[in-house]
Amino acid sequence: MKAGHFAKSIRLENVRKSYGSQIVLDDLNLHVEPGEFVSMLGPSGSGKTTVLNLVAGFDDPDAGSVLLDGGNMTGIAPEHRNIGVVFQNYSLFPHMSVAENIEFPLRMRGVSKAERREAVGKALSLVALDGFGDRKPEQLSGGQQQRVAIARAVVFNPDVLLMDEPLGALDRRLRGDLQLEIKTLHEELGVTIIYVTHDQEEALSMSDRVVVFNKGRVEQEGKPREVYRRPATLFVADFLGDSLSISAMASGDSVTLRELNTEVASSGHGLQGPVRLLWRSDQVSLAGANDPGDRILTMPATVETVAYAGTITRMRVKTSTGDIGVIEAAEDSEFAAGDAIVLALDLDKASLLPADEDNR
Q: What residues are paired with 294 via a beta bridge?
A: none
Question: For residues 39 and 281, which CB has a smaller minimum distance to ligand ADP in the complex?
Answer: 39
Question: For residues 42 and 137, which CB has a smaller minimum distance to ligand ADP in the complex?
Answer: 42
* C-alpha distances out from residue 188 to 5, 124, 136, Å: 11, 14, 27
- Cβ at position 48, least distance to ligand ADP in Å: 4
Question: For residues 196 and 329, which CB has a smaller minimum distance to ligand ADP in the complex?
Answer: 196
- Interior angle at CA 301, CA 299 and CA 303, nearest 5: 150
- Full DSSP string of 179-246: HHHHHHHHHHH--EEEEEES-HHHHHHH-SEEEEEETTEEEEEE-HHHHHHS-SSHHHHHHH--EEEE
- Cβ at position 22, least distance to ligand ADP in Å: 6
8 DSSP assignment = -
Q: What residues are paired with 307 via a beta bridge?
A: 314
Question: For residues 104 and 235, which CB has a smaller minimum distance to ligand ADP in the complex?
Answer: 235
- Cβ at position 207, least distance to ligand ADP in Å: 16
Q: What are phi and psi of 48, to 5 degrees?
A: -65, -50
Question: For residues 6 and 90, which CB has a smaller minimum distance to ligand ADP in the complex?
Answer: 90
73 DSSP assignment = -
- Cβ at position 123, least distance to ligand ADP in Å: 27
Give the residues lining the site for ligand ADP (CB under 6 A). 19, 24, 42, 44-50
